[in-house]
């Protein structure tokens, strides 16, 4: 996982999902503006968390593909989505744990793995 910084996350997104750079840039701009207006770091922390989870999912192609498939099942509304929703939740929880582990211990050997 990359370090939980805007620059490191931008570099990771550029490698694994370059089409998402405009969304990341807009989200960072909005978060910085909101942080300044509210005098709070919460919007920037939310930005970092959101994109760290995105990277944690997308850096595993099988995980990302499975998530997209499950989201299609839910969006289609053609079958009971209960199992799909549970699996989506499990994928996101695993990605959040991965992202939080990196954020909690920057500078560890895990930070140097390939994105």
What are the pLDDT digits (tens) for 90-111?
Answer: 999 999 999 987 665 444 434 3
Contact 55, 13 (CB under 8 A): yes
pTM (2 decimals)?
A: 0.82
CA angle 113, 43, 23 (to 5 degrees): 65
| pLDDT score, position 76 | 95
Number of Cα atoms under 13 Å in the Cβ half of residue 57? 18
Yes or no: say if 55 and 1 are a contact pair by the CB < 8 Å rule.
yes
* Number of Cα atoms under 13 Å in the Cβ half of residue 78: 5
Sign of the torsion angle spanned by Cα atoms 58, 63, 69, 70: negative
């Amino acid at each position: 996982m990359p370090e939980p910084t805007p620059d490191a996350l931008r570099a990771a997104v550029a490698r694994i999902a370059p089409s998402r750079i405009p969304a990341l840039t807009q989200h960072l701009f909005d978060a910085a503006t909101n942080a300044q207006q509210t005098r709070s770091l919460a919007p920037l922390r939310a930005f970092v968390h959101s994109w760290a989870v995105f990277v944690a999912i997308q850096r595993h192609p099988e995980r990302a593909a499975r998530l997209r498939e499950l989201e299609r099942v839910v969006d289609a509304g053609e079958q009971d989505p209960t199992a799909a929703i549970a699996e989506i939740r499990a994928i996101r929880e695993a990605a959040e744990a991965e992202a939080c582990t990196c954020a909690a211990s920057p500078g560890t050997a895990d930070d140097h793995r390939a994105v």
